[in-house]
Amino acid sequence: MSAIEVLNHPLVDCHLTVLRKQSTPPGEFRQSVRRLSTLLAYSATAGIRTSEYPIETPLQTMKGRQLVDRIGLIPILRAGIGMVEPMLDLIPTAEVWHLGLYRDETTATPVHYYSKLPPGSPVELAFILDPMLATGGSACLALQTLMEWGVRDIKMLSILAAPEGIEKIQSQFPNIDVHCCAVDEGLNDQKYIVPGLGDAGDRIFNTSGQP
């Protein structure tokens, strides 16, 4: 069964509160997404592989450490873009490959409209980035796409998750770890996470149409 890692930290609680507030302006919303993504990245990368290599400090030779695997960041367009930069701050050598998925509002099923994954030569470790894990449909489609690409190790990073999305991943991809900041109550009739924070993409990119 896949592991569900939920961050338990006072800073997470505070930044999540900012995200949830309807009155939070887009700039502040983006900053909170960035901060929470940094905390998620720190937690989710705890087990990544490193190897020793010698370096020279100003005083002597010592053994440092460097990353072993090729690491890919896979943001699900468009909201996942908001999580890329903080990940790159911590893993500047990571590759960024985009997947375009959206939810059909009538059927609540995912639609795959764009993929930038190159043929062959998959990364060894991939982090799927999507602020909201709701029904799990888009996440599972992304997971299937990466597995078909040949990625051997995949982790799902979301700021908020619904039990329904977690259960869907666990049933279809039992070996995939999910890292999130909170698991909310569930989904409403429109398949939005409640209490949630609204549409993450609209709030990140200020496209809600609100004045």
- Indicate which residues carry an active-site annotation: 103, 107, 199, 202
Determine contact, residues 200/131, Cβ cutoff 8 Å.
Answer: yes
User: Of 98, 94, 99, 148, whose CA–CA distance to 125 is shortest?
Assistant: 94
Helices 163-172 and 137-149, interaxial angle, to 10°? 30
User: Of 16, 9, 12, 4, whose CA–CA distance to 200 is shortest?
Assistant: 16
DSSP secondary structure letters along 107-175: T--EEEEEE-PPSS---SEEEEE-SEESSSHHHHHHHHHHHHHT-SEEEEEEEEE-HHHHHHHHHH-TT
- d(Cα 68, Cα 64) in Å, to the nearest integer? 13
Residue in the structure block whose two tokens are 């370096």: 55
How many CB atoms are closer than 10 A to CB 143?
21
Is 93 in a helix, a strand, or coil? coil
User: Of 123, 111, 130, whose CA–CA distance to 199 is shortest?
Assistant: 130
